Amino acid sequence: MNELLTEIGLLSRRSVRRTLRQPALIVPTIVFPLFLLAVNASGLDSATKIPGFPTASYLDFAITVPFMQGALFASTTAGTEIANDIETGFLNRLQLTPLRGAAILIGQMAGAVLLALIGAVIYLAVGLLAGVTIAAGVGGALLLLVLAVIVAIAFASIGALLATRTGSSQAVQGMFPLIFVLFFLSSMSMPRNLIGVDWFRTVATWNPISYLVEGLRSLVITGWDGPALAKGFGAALAITVLAGAAASASLRTRMART
């Protein structure tokens, strides 16, 4: 176990340094979600007048959206970096070392997850300054950051899976719009019980992203909502385990072919 942690640490430091040296990755991750938050909060505030809407402030309702978008950027960042290492032959060189496959995957995702954490702290700070109230209090705000990081790990695992399966950074980046579409087919913009279109509500109910959003949102609007949090953490962990296992299998197959 100690050897595995050491290997993860070595690759994590490389991943973090590489990510933090690329402003083109950092700036969009932070600025783009905040820009969309400002637009949505000002343009959709009238939605709070709908009977049954859970809060009187659309900003409170929408503040969790940047956390999800930051996780999506983590997916693209992690996948692109792993794909670049495959394309440049770095992964082949790693086969000459005793590094384990799990260490390679986890270490390569460290930079993307750290970037998501930095973004989450900034989103939360900006939201609080703009007047967002965390119903669950200080402890809820901290748990919000924890869940945001776990969601980022889940999406980074998806990025790692795409990278190990395709071996192409362009293919990973090309999947970004498709994943982004899933965000809009969830309860991100409207509570599921208020979605009037039957097929949309059905898709949102089956879409695991809805439960990630609702888990984060419950801490802001409801407080300590056990079922919502359990579903949010459960969905994030399930995605992490399934995508991580599939990425690990793809990595073993790819390394066996080279």
Q: What is the pLDDT of residues 108-128, one digit of tens each?
A: 778 888 888 888 999 999 989
The residue ranking higher by pLDDT, 104 or 65, is: 65
Highest mean pLDDT among 8-17, 133-142, 182-191, 244-253: 133-142
Q: What is the pLDDT of residue 100?
A: 67
Q: What is the pLDDT of residue 2?
A: 67
* pLDDT, mean over the chain: 83
| Contact criterion met (CB below 8 Å) for 40 and 65 | yes
Q: Which residues contact 94 (CB under 8 A, 6 or more apart)?
A: 104
Q: What is the pLDDT of residue 119?
A: 87
- Please state the pTM of the whole predicted model: 0.89
Query: What percentage of residues in the chain have a pLDDT greater than 90?
Result: 22
Burial class (CB in 10 A: 0-12, 13-18, 19+), 50: exposed
The residue ranking higher by pLDDT, 142 or 89, is: 142
pLDDT bin (cut points 50, 70, 90) of residue 89 is confident
Q: What is the pLDDT of residue 254?
A: 66
Q: What is the pLDDT of residues 196-245, one digit of tens each?
A: 888 888 999 999 999 999 999 999 998 899 999 999 999 999 999 999 88
Euclidean distance between CA atoms 130 and 69, whole angstroms: 19
The amino acid at residue 22 is: Q
The amino acid at residue 180 is: F
Highest mean pLDDT among 4-18, 87-101, 191-205: 191-205
Q: What is the pLDDT of residue 72?
A: 82
What is the CB neighbour count within 10 angstroms for residue 149?
20
Complete DSSP assignment for the chain: -HHHHHHHHHHHHHHHHHHHT-HHHHHHHHHHHHHHHHHHHHHSGGGGGSTT-S-S-HHHHHTTHHHHHHHHHHHHHHHHHHHHHHHHTHHHHHTTS---HHHHHHHHHHHHHHHHHHHHHHHHHHHHHHT---TTHHHHHHHHHHHHHHHHHHHHHHHHHHHHHH--HHHHHHTHHHHHHHHHTTTSSS-GGG---HHHHHHHHH-HHHHHHHHHHHHHHTSS-HHHHHHHHHHHHHHHHHHHHHHHHHHHHHHHH-
For residue 7, is pLDDT > 80?
Answer: no
Q: How long a stretch of residues is the chain?
A: 258
- Count structural domains, the chain: 1
Distance of CA 188 to CAs 28, 66, 101, Å? 20, 10, 35
For residue 145, is pLDDT > 60?
Answer: yes
For residue 159, is pLDDT > 60?
Answer: yes
Q: What is the pLDDT of residues 19-53, one digit of tens each?
A: 777 777 677 778 888 888 888 777 777 777 888 88
Domain of residue 39, residue span: 2-257
